[in-house]
Structure 1
Amino acid sequence: MATTLSIQSNQNLDTFILIWLDSLVNISEDNIDTKKILRKAITYVVSFDDTEKCLEFIRSHSQEKIVLIVSGRLGQILVPRAHQFSQLIAVYVYCSDKKRNEQWAKDFIKIKGVIVDLNDLIKRIKLDHMKRNEYNIDESLPITFFHKNPQNKQFLIKNNDNFIYFQLIIDCLSLIKPTLNEKNKLILFCKEKYKDNKNELNIISEFEENYSSNRAIWWLTRESFVLPMLNKAFQTININLLYNFNFLISDIRKQLIENKYQAPLRTYRTQLMSSQEIKLLKYYIGEYVSINTFFITIPNRKHAIEMFKDSDTDSGLKRVLFEIDADPQLENMKPFSDITSLNYSTGVEIILFMAGTIFHPVDICQENDITIIQMDACSDNDSNIKTIIDNIKGEDYGATPDVFSLGYILAKMKKFDDAEKFYNRLLVELPDDHRSVVSCYKGFARIAMEKEDYDLSIQRYQKAFNMEQSVLKPDDPGIASGYSTIADVYVKKCAFTEALQLYNQALKIWIRALGNDHLKVAVCYKNIARIFEMQSKYNEAIDYYEKVVAIYEKNSTVNQADLAKLHNHIASIYALIDDKNHILKHYKLALKIFSKIYSINHPDVIGALKNIGHTHEAAGNLSQALAHYEKIASIHRELLPSNHPEINEIQLDINRIKSQIK
């Protein structure tokens, strides 16, 4: 019936790729045997006997770190063309004529050696790779960016989307209850991936037998398959692999919370980065970045800088020191902890931040040959970010995410292929119970709706609804939710008659089951009002919006700002039928509420004053309009510079009214 979402066995899930270009690479027995040996150091080894295909592979893997072995003859052709690519970090020329090839090789700083002995080549590559792995400072750091005011710049909007997407994904993965199935699938995959690496297979077997939730950080910091594979999954947002790592991500988060750091601190992260990456971070000074992996730092600045001692900057990468200030007292901040006692390397002092921690870049400066990037760790409560995340989550997400929440987020973020594959996987793997099947079909329906295939969405929602009707009583609120959800799709389809019929069926059930003043009833009234408004039936729309107001006023949990905005909206509908008395009434009610919850200079308060002023002006009440404009001007003069556009704008309004009064 469905296929599982699989991780392809030939997919590179390591940080590094080893490429070997030689006309005999797939023919010579020595070369074939050497590839097997090298796979024990760098698991992903790709061989080429064609220069153009090799060059295209390097060009198309811009997010990887590539190590190249090349023959002397083909190296003279390839290296001058590939040397400028930042992803190419090291080249080894393997040849029979060392002296001759050293002549051309000396012009390329990424060439680490011209080697004639096969054993020397293997030793050199393995030694250099071990140095890279010691601190992982040249491993790509997955970062997403958020700009508070992206306006119409497409790349800023895309960056914001990627930032929000990862925050939602890590929220799901951290809080979904793990099952044994994910761990077993991860182990099976790893055994297949590392089948030629005896050392790694032994570690995988140890992981299978001895892993426990209280040793999650120990495994994260151990030199093994865990951290490189997890980092790559984070970097590429490999949903299937991240889901299989769900148990580990959740366990690490719990350990960080249990060992939460108690006092503000400064800590450091040593990193090699490209000039382009540094330039992008500089652009986002004053904005937000998310480090999309478990962020390992050390609190000793001197030790951090010493880590650069053996770092290789010949590849064109720059030395970067992140200087991070973090305060654990900030509300709703992702956890971080001193993991010295939990760490695999005993006695090594480490501060670990949860994957997806948000930082605020403060400044970038230069200290000798090191770029210093100063950042503050941030709360997840920032209104610019939280509002967007809450809107995407919507009502269906729930207070605590479950396994279906991940599919929901994938659909909302328009990752449709991933979402469909994920729901198909759940259909296969989860117990064949009513809730699982219904939730998956609702997921498929949501995907169709997001794709604007409304007929298919209705068909799938109807299938899930029919299944719910078979087990729920006719007056169960869940039945009302089913009617309402299908009605939502009919609204998008502009099939208003069908939508109204379903909303009214939902309304009857909710009133019977929950009472006249429940917020579910208010939501249904609002949906009906919206349909009448879209049909230009303004009086009917106002009647239903007023019902919503009545329920909001009785319910203490309602956000007062939402009530004020509703009054604004009702006023805008009265404006369409030119009922100035009711326009003023609702604008004044909005102002009264905004004035209670915000300071006098809040944009919503200013907006309400302006709306009242404009309405008085339209009604010919010029003195009242002038009074409101002058109040706005007074507020602006106290807070804004004299040449601010808003001061000039309100002064034009005042001058216009005064000229009419005269």
Structure 2
Amino acid sequence: MEHIDLLYKLRYFLGDLIENLAREHQEIVQSASRSPLVALPLTTQSEKRNNLIAVIFQIECNLQEIGDHFSFANITQFNQCLHQEEILFDLNATFHLENIQEEKQIAFIKMTAVNDARAIIQKYIDDTHRQIEDLSISIIFGKLICDMSQWNQSQLYFQHLLNDSHEEDLALIEHHIGQAHYWKGEWNEARKYHQCALNRMTQVEPASIKYSAFVLSDIGEILYRQGKYEEAEEFHQEALAIRKKYYSSEHVNIASSLENIGLIQKQRLKHHEALIFLQQALTIREKYDDCFHVAIATNLCNIGSILTEQGKYDEAFDYHQRAMSIYKKNYPLDHVYIATTLNHMGAILSQQERYDEAVDTVQQAWSLQKKFYPFGHIDIVISLNNLGDIKFAQEKYDEALDLYQQHLSIQMKYYSFDHMNIVHTLYRIGFAFGKEKKNYDQALEFHQQALSILKTYYPTYYGHISCSFLCIGHDL
């Protein structure tokens, strides 16, 4: 996905090429394996570039199992070096990763050819169309890139589509550009594109009211991330009202709205109400989707996080393990969702005083996040926060304080000063000062700062305000 410009320009040519290759080679059933004696020397050709890893793919093809839809050809006769026995695979070829072994600085990746490509593609298209009817393949392709956590590439693809579009719905393209910005943590830019999309949808004849619920919901998610929970709920309630007009009560889009409203109740510490919304959403999803759908995993994680706050650690851990099994089935090569789930599990392990396991789990999450996010991205603070909590529980207060302060510095770049998550970080810094430095005056200063934010911007969040008074009482 690195060369999205070239891929976009050649998209029609590549489609014709794949079709012609499949047609010309549909009778080919012979195979030839490249000799290791030939492959091994090729791994040393780029030895001057020390930033590369030598890789040899060991591919096994069982012709009886893969059937006629898997196209590959022995093209040795067209190669100047006949002894190389070169094999050409169709671009639609799919492989199952069996294992990776490293020997003498060479990675050997063993794969098995499988006939899953069409089924995987069709399932993704069908799942998308069940949510959003009549979405074009061009839009679905860009959405897929975004779902693979390739947000820059998805944004670039949709920008090309926006500039070159003649038949595509401009509002849909703008909406998806906004989604790419959202995942990158660029919430203000995301909001601008979502608002443009929403304006187009409501101004055209006939108005695209049905699809506008997706945009309203995404604006609600941005406001939620920004800590504007009351405003976020208004957008989610509006999206839910539209969806109730167009969908049955057991449609998956209804579940999305219920889940979003439940998460806002969680922020208010109304855990019972939040669980009702999230369980309703999960019930709908389990009836509507197959049991390994990603949306079910996210729903399970959200329930697990509430159970954690209620102190029901074993039950919460079970929910996160169920979610993890789904994510790993859908994303065998890792994903930000896996990192998020690892962080949830690490937090539970810390609460259970299993600190070594907790550190290992959160470190795994942090390593994954570094693959997808630049350092300083807002979602990395979850790992910093969890590591800080573990260090605090281990009475390593100076290390905890350092992690909390890193956490706060990143938050200040993304959030306004009155964000609820900043309140939580102020609590933590205050406790760390009180424990490590025995500096109760400074601890009191941080806790009073948190209380001031709550009383000014969250006056009805009584659970949070009472916790803040308890913190101040501890300092006095």
| TM-score using structure 2 length | 0.49
- The structure with the greater share of residues assigned to strand is 1
Q: Which has the higher contact order (CA 8 A, sep 6+)?
A: 1
- The structure with the greater share of residues assigned to helix is 2
| TM-score using structure 1 length | 0.37
